[in-house]
Structures are given as C-alpha cells and as structure tokens.
A and B are shown apart, each in its own frame.
Chain A
Amino acid sequence: EVVMTQSPATLSVSPGEGATLSCRASQSVNSDLAWYQQKPGQAPRLLIYGASTRATGIPARFSGSGSGTEFTLTISSLQSEDFATYYCQQYNNWPPLTFGGGTKVDIK
C-alpha cells in the first residue's frame, strides 16, 4: 500500500497571502495524484488531478506540481472561502487508492 504523508498538519495563513502544501508518497506514483478541498460538514471537492490539472471550475489561484514522490499544492492568494482542509490522493498503485492525512489551512 502506498502511504501518503502530508505536511504540515496545520498551516496558519493571513487572507491574501500564499500557501504551500506538501504531499509525499512512500513510492513513486508518477503524476497520478489528486488534491481535494474539504470544508466542515461537506464532502471533499476535487481541485487538481494528474498532479497539475485543475478540475472544472477551480480558480487559477490553485496550482499543483510535482511527480514521482513529491507533490505541492500552491494557493497563490488565499480568499476567505479557501480556509479548509486539503487532502492528496494517489491513484497509481491500487488497490487500495490511498489518501494523505490532510493539511488544515486556517486563518492566522
């Protein structure tokens, strides 16, 4: 099973500032990496797939990069609606598909 590790667990950011979230895979997953955003009481929402392709309707301030075992989600200028928890998920080596433990982005 591929273990996905996200860091940091919590990131405190002021509105308007940028944020960089990391995701590491225990073995190479090529570019088969997705990012999700989840707000309290809601289902996850797909942001990024293929490590760097934004899903439909996702603002350009969200960008993904990386391949192999190291991945990054960057939010260029945080808006109020961006404060949430973010998860990465690999879909290269399965079953099972596996998720990271999440990074909570909160208001500084």
Chain B
Amino acid sequence: DVVMTQSPLSLPVTLGQPASISCRSSQSLVYSDGDTYLNWFQQRPGQSPRRLIYKVSKRDSGVPDRFSGSGSGTDFTLKISRVEAEDVGVYYCMQGTRWPRTFGQGTKVEIK
C-alpha cells in the first residue's frame, strides 16, 4: 500500500499568517492517464471531512482561494495564504491513484 506521510502533525498559527502542510507518498501518484490523484481534506471539530483540493491543485466548489495545493510525483503541499479562525481543524492528504486509497496521519491546525 502507498504510505502517506504528513508534516508537521501539529501547526499553531497566528491569525492572518500563512500556513503550509507537507505530504509525501511512498510511491509516485501519477496515474496511467497522466493525472495525479492527490486530495486534501479539512475536518473541522465535530464535522465530517470536506474535500478542499483534488488532483493536486484543483479547488472544490466553494473553497476559499486562500487554500492552494501544489506538488508533483511524491511531494505535495497545502498552503493557506492567511489563516482565519474557521480554518481550525485537522487536514488530511489522501492518495486516489492506487488501491486501496490511503490517508496521511493528519495535521492539526490551531490558532496561537
């Protein structure tokens, strides 16, 4: 199975400041069709996960543009340009290229 490794696991941030989360996969996530199926999910306290980013950098409908995804191959990043209070929660990367799907351990974002 593909192992997804996130860092850091805890991220205290100041309101209005940027934040960045890294996700590395144990194998390339480039699929045979040429696309890379790397997703980012946000889970706010007490809520179901919500997908923010798919195919590395495509934002889901309704996701604020302060969220952006980048990367290629085995190395990916989620960036929040200016953290807001509503961004508190746990962020997960998940690969959708190989079966079974696998998640990173999660990164807890909190306000300093």
Do A and B come together as binding partners? no
